[in-house]
Every structure is written in structure tokens, then in C-alpha cells.
Chains A and B, each alone.
Chain A
């Protein structure tokens, strides 16, 4: 029985390398079909995201799965690359390490942004695609189902997926998402072209934001930035009207005085009809007069407000990370024990079958000797014999289960075979 993973992630491979060996959904389907053709006894699931490309394979027989070298060759051949170009970027995990890795990935503990929610959906999609392609089997089914369970445990028993630690992510996750239910119908206005503004836009895009407007004193810079995010650039003089239409404003200019004073905003406020407005003032010094935060429906956050939330989240996440890792460890151990215990199934079956025949013989003999027994009494006696067998078998079966925690219990299985003369 073998379970392995060959692939790369943001930890060890550059964006360019990941881009070269990434699989689109249609390519992934084709790759799974080709794998099935080449290694028919192998189960396979291919996980391909921006940050990782990982192929999980499994088979009942150890030599039925492709080796590390073969997977690298397969990837290179599929993408028309030389094997040597990608060999160093693809690492391998096998057995318990592969299981632990899958659980860690699904629980978003291996993600670039720890605790981000997208990876779980991507793991699910990869598993569903493999199921559709009929490339999954008992081992991968068990492993991926368990991975989804681990992710759920980590999500419910820790707050790791809720705690963001960068200012833009906290702004979006802890505050913007408490104001707006969705972002695809919201007007996002970016004032200035600061790095943090760009980063915030990245988070908002991942939450579905589509209507993005960039305004900057240098219009060319605004145009370039807007193009990056699929938005549009506007001239600086239209700022008041843009503020009327905006739902969420991110401002990061280098101005030394506020660019929007309370008096300016009061003129805008009347035209907004008290619609909620979330302002992220990430500029130092501030771009919006702090008094604007007292206006009805305005939620004005400065970089200091967000930094405090980041600090709190970081402390909480540090407290919770060990707990999340413990969940992964516990579930890995449980999964491996179950996996090892599967190997003992044929022995258990033979052991049970071996005791059935003597039971049947003894019952027949007894019933022949006591013909006066009615059906009810016979059923009671048969049940009693069955219970006796179960009780006698219980200790060896428990010992097998206990030993399975440390690997396939070959020694114990051999001993049982010899003690009870179990034939293959």
C-alpha cells in the first residue's frame, strides 16, 4: 500500500516555475486520463493552484505507483519541458508525510496567507475532478475525505482562518466584510498609488470586487494601476463625484494635508443619502479629516486602527497555531492507523471464517443430541455460541488495532497465521 505526493509550492518554486507546470482544469482532466492509461492500478488526484502543483498518487501495491522520477518526466512531457528544468523544483512526500502534507494544505496551514479559505475549495475541486475522471480509488477517497474533515476541524476548533495579520487583509476581512455582504456590486475607489492600496485591491478582487476606479494626481500611474486590476482611471478633479458614487474608498496618497476635509465631505454626504461608506485611510499623514468618521453611515479607519487589530490577531493566531497543528497530527495518526489496519482485514476475515466452521459443527452435534429443543431455544444457543466467538476473538483483534497505530503489524499477523494455522 503506497500513498505519495510529488509537486511544488510557493515554498520551494518560483512563480515562473509554477506557471510553467500549472494545469488548467481541462489540462488536469487530460493529465489524469493519461496517468490512468500509463499506470492503470494507480489512483491519482491533481491539485493545481497559483501557489502549488501537487500530484497525489496511491496504489495497493507499492510498485504500481509512478516514482518521483517518473512523475517529473510526466510533468515535463505534458508541458513540453526538459526534465532537468523542473526536477529540482518538484519534491516528494510519501506515506505518513504525504498524508500530513495533504491535511496541512487542506487546512490552509501551508498557504501563503495562513488560514485563507480558497485552498479548501481548490482541494475539493481537485478531488471532484479526479472523481469525475474515475482516477480516485479507496485510498485517495479515504485520504481526501479525511483532509476535508481535518480542514473543518481546524476551521471550527481554532480561529486561525479568521485571523489576518496584514493591514490590507485585516481591513477587508475584519471590517469591510462586516459592512458589505458582497463586493461584486460595490464601487471601489482607490485614491493614490501606494503599495498598500494595491495590496488591498488584490484582497478585494479575490472577494469578487469588479467595479474599481483609480484616481491619482499622476493620471498615467492611475491608468497603469487600473489596467492591472481590470478597473478604470479617472481624472483627479472628479474626486468629489467619485466619492459620491463609491462604497469603499482606499486612500494612500503622499499628501501632507488632508485631501478631503469635513467641509468637503459634508457637500458630498447630502448626495450619498446616508449610504454606508467604508474609508480605509492608509496614508500617513491622513488623507481624510478624522471628523468625517462621525458622519452618518461613514466608517473611517486609519492605519493606526488597523495596526492595533493586526497586533491582536497576530497574538491570537500565535496562540492557536499549535492547536491547529495538533489537530493535523492527531488526524494523521488516526488516518495512518486506519490505513494500516486495512492491511489486517484479510487476516481478520480468515480468522473469523476459521471459527465459523467449528461453531457450525458443534451446533449441529448439539441439536442432534437434543431434538426436543424448540426453535427459540436453538436460536438462543446459536446466538450464545456467536457471542462466545466474538469474545474470544476480541483480544487478538484489539491487539491488531493497537499495533496498527505504529505501522502495518506484520509480526502479529504472522503470529496469528501460525497460531491459528490460517492459510493464504
Chain B
């Protein structure tokens, strides 16, 4: 039965959960909360099995391709939604908030983007399973998820502030968390994404520096450096400029951060890059064979330099 789990299974579960969330704007129901929780849980479970299956099969390991990368980011956001829904379902008097209306479209969007890149070749298992590579890719993926969480809180913050400024009472099914909560979550997401993406960059630099070569002018390296530079500026802005930590500026920063990251990702698909492509001059036959295998690899934020990895891990490549 597990073999039959496909992308459609969990995408459909998330889509139904989203539809149920939307219906909250029109009518109330005691059953809907349970159904939403059920569909979200089923979706996350199927999603987990699907990723687990991919990790154990020869196709690749987690985060070894753009497809896996986007699916893992979607999984993390779906898990956040599931946890949130579960907590709300347990609480009798807590006000239900419409976080799902903002979070689930993003989950579905990530799955769709992942599907779009499904045909691309993943990184070879022996490379992707190197510990440093895993750390590098995990930091980037978690940083990306953190940016997305910040984006969602930023949007909700702006909607909530707009409503409160215009003295509009909360609409049924569209109640949002308080501005204070959203601001705090936004600031934390910027700090978390800064730390994670910087760690991702540093591990990438270490991977290349070990080899004594660094492709500074490579578009992938440049756009990633721009993202981290933006993150540094945003974090400094939030840390040093007091008004930025309170009020709507937090929302603007989180949304701008997401835009910068998404622009960087989009550019990655347009600009040619040798980043991650193996070098033939090493004379290593396995590496040469790998060139054709990896040359098309484009990890969303940063891909890998095979020769450096081979040096780091000794004889593995």
C-alpha cells in the first residue's frame, strides 16, 4: 500500500484541508475541525512516507535535488500547520485563527514548484550523503523554511493591522493571531533564517576552501552571497533600529526578505552556472563519469562542487 503513495495523495489532502479552512468564512461546524486535522495529518503522513521512500531508494537522498528540496520545505510548513491545527483543536476556548488560509497555499505552491523540477537529475547518493554536504543543504533548507514562515507572518500582520486601523471586527473564519504575536514571530524568523543561511554559506565556503579554489564569480555563489548580505542587513536593521522591531516594519522586512530569496531562486534558473558541476581535470575517472550525471544539477539556493567534496571526504568520489 505504501508503494502507492504519490505526490497526488498528500497534495489532495492539503488541498482538501485548505478548502475546509476557506469554508470557515461561511459557516461553523464542530466536525470540520476534526476533518481538517485528519486531512492535514493524512497529508503529512503520506508526505513523510513519500520522502522516506525517496531517501531509501536509489533516486537520491533527502535534499539531493530541487524536487526533494522543495518537497521537504513544503513538508516542514505542513508540519507547522498540523501542529497549529492540533493545538487549536485541543483548546476549547482558544480563538480559532485562519493561519491555514495563508500557510497551505504556500505548501501547495512548493509542491507544485517541486513537481515542475521533478525531471532534473539529483545529486549522486555518495556525494549527497557526505555529512558536510548534508549540513550545508539542511541549513539552506531550514533557512528557506524560516524565510517562508516569516513571509506568512508578515502578510498576516499587514492584514491584521489594516483591519484594526479601519476598525473592522474580525470576520468569521478569518480571525488572525495578535499583532504582538505576529511581530514576535516575524522577528524570530528573520533571526533564524539569518543564522541558518549564514551557516549554509559558511559550510559551502569551507567545502570549497579546503580545495584551495573558490568560484567567486559564479552566478550561484553571487546570488547566494546577495541573499546572505540582505539577511545581514535585515538582521542588523532589526537589532539596532528599535522601531523596526515593533509595528509594521517587521512585516515589511519579512516580506522583503522572502522576495529577495525568491528572486535569487528564480535567477538561479535563468543564469548559467558551473556551480556544482565536477571538474574533469582531476583525472579521476569516477568524477569524469559523474560530470554528465551532475552537470544539470541546480540546487535551489546553492549546489555542490564535487571535486571539493571528494577532497573533503578523501576517496569517496
Contacts and interface: CB of A to CB of B under 8 A. Distances in A.
A153 B176 CA distance: 21
A236 interface: no
B160 A178 contact: yes
A151 B178 contact: no
Contacts of A299: 164-165
A385 interface: no
Residue from B181, B243, B248 with most neighbouring chain A CB atoms (10 Å): B243
Contacts of B119: none
B249 A301 contact: no
A156 B167 contact: no
Chain A interface, DSSP helix/strand/loop, else mixed:
helix
B172 interface: yes
A274 B176 contact: no
A290 to B, nearest CB: 12
A83 interface: no
Interface string A375-386: 000000000000
A120 interface: yes
A158 interface: yes
Given A274-B246, A276-B246, A299-B165, A153 B179 contact: no
Given A152-B92, A155-B92, A162-B95, A181 B246 contact: no
B215 to A, nearest CB: 43
Interface string B68-99: 00000000000000000000000011011000
A48 B176 CA distance: 34
Contacts of A159: 28, 172
Contact of A151 (B92, B180, B184): B92
B246 A297 contact: yes
Interface string B173-186: 00011111100100
A174 B96 CA distance: 13
B243 A179 contact: no
A187 B248 CA distance: 21
30 contacts: A120-B92, A120-B93, A148-B92, A152-B92, A153-B30, A155-B92, A155-B93, A156-B28, A156-B29, A156-B30, A157-B30, A158-B28, A159-B28, A159-B172, A162-B95, A174-B169, A174-B170, A178-B170, A178-B176, A181-B177, A274-B243, A274-B246, A274-B247, A275-B246, A276-B179, A276-B180, A276-B247, A297-B247, A297-B248, A299-B164
Interface of A: 117, 120-121, 148, 151-153, 155-159, 161-162, 174-175, 177-182, 273-276, 293, 296-297, 299, 301, 305, 308-309, 312-313
